[in-house]
């Protein structure tokens, strides 16, 4: 959000910006030179769209489903890029990963026209999203995301790959939602947003090691992530909610 901008206007603006970014990145995926960066930009834009749609008064399920389908289509290429890059960093053979990447992009190129068309529909659809200026609605969404990320940490501590991945997705979602409302709460939220995003990056490195077939190298990263997570999520959701809601109310009163 920008100073003096209502939440509803800010949400519609950012949704539109991310939808445009998604469509542009998908078009760039057809270029041979920088496919990895284009795939990454498309996935980030899609994740931000899904996270921020959670702030809508009525979640646009059809729009979110379209974005999710695009994300799943891109995930194979993204994961193979991660495997290739991680193997290179570990000085491991990469011949098989190069072949797999080539095959994945052959499949992706055939699907790109449909994905771009879907992204253009998303750009049109975000204009109909129902945004809210109710601070209690916004904080209820944030509290739920905070609670989910906090709770999933417990299951992830055992090291199950699926549980750790679910924790990482919840942390990333919370980070994007915090980034949107950060101007409303200032320094009290900036530190949390920074810590949440750092935690997400740490969990991402853990996943990279699992994808590359070296889970043992990811174990210390998970231990570090859990230790950091205990610090990040030290407050109970209810306490955190009560502390931040008055700041959100004040911001929105000034913006309206």
**Axis-axis angle for helices 215-232, 135-156 (nearest 10):** 140
Q: Which residue has the tokens 């709460």?
A: 185
Say what the pLDDT of residue 39 is. 94
Q: Does the fold of domain 135-255 match that of domain 7-128?
A: yes
d(CA 176, CA 55): 11
> Model confidence over 73-117: pLDDT tens digits?
999 898 988 888 899 898 988 888 889 888 988 889 999 999 999
Of 66, 60, 100, nearest to 80 (Cα)? Answer: 100
Please state which of the four CATH numbers 1.10.101, 3.30.2310, 3.30.565, 1.20.120 is assigned to the domain occupying 135-255: 1.20.120
Tokens of 109: 């190129």
Task: Tell me the pLDDT band of 171, cut-offs 50, 70 and 90.
Answer: very high
Confidence of residue 195 (pLDDT cuts 50, 70, 90): very high
Q: Which of 23, 28, 46 is nearest to 38 (CA)?
A: 28
For residues 75 and 107, give the distance between their C-alpha atoms in angstroms, rounded to a whole number. 12
The answer to whether 42 and 25 are in contact (CB under 8 A) is: yes
Above 60 in pLDDT, residue 255? no
Most distant CA pair in the chain: distance in Å?
59
Domain positions in the chain: 7-128, 135-255
pLDDT tens digits, one per residue of 34-59? 888 999 999 999 999 999 999 998 87
For domain 7-128, give its CATH number from 1.20.1260, 2.30.29, 1.20.120, 1.10.3470.
Answer: 1.20.120
pLDDT average, residue stretch 155-177: 95
pLDDT for the residue 18 = 97
How far, in Å, CA of 206 to CA of 222, rounded?
Answer: 6
Average pLDDT, the chain: 90
pTM for the predicted model, two decimal places? 0.90
């Amino acid at each position: 959000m920008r100073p003096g901008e209502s939440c509803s206007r800010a949400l519609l603006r950012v949704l539109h910006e991310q939808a445009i970014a998604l469509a542009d990145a998908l078009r760039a995926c057809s270029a041979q030179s920088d496919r990895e960066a284009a795939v990454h930009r498309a996935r980030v834009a899609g994740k931000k769209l899904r996270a921020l749609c959670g702030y809508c008064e009525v979640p646009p399920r059809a729009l979110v489903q379209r974005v999710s389908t695009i994300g799943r289509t891109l995930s194979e290429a993204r994961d193979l890029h991660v495997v290739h890059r991680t193997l290179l960093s570990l000085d491991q053979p990469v011949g098989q990963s190069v072949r797999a990447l080539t095959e994945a992009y052959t499949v992706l190129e055939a699907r790109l026209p449909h994905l771009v068309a879907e992204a253009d529909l998303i750009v049109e659809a975000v204009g109909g999203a129902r945004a809210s200026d109710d601070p209690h609605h916004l904080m209820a969404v944030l509290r739920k995301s905070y609670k989910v990320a906090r709770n999933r940490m417990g299951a992830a501590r055992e090291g199950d790959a699926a549980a750790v991945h679910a924790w990482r997705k919840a942390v990333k979602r919370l980070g994007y939602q915090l980034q949107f409302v950060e101007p409303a709460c200032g320094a009290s939220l900036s530190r949390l947003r920074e810590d949440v995003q750092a935690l997400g990056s740490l969990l991402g490195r853990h996943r990279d090691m699992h994808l590359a077939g070296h889970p043992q190298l990811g174990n210390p990263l998970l231990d570090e992530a859990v230790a950091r997570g205990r610090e990040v999520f030290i407050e109970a959701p209810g306490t955190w909610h009560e502390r931040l809601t008055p700041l959100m109310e004040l911001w929105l009163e000034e913006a309206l």
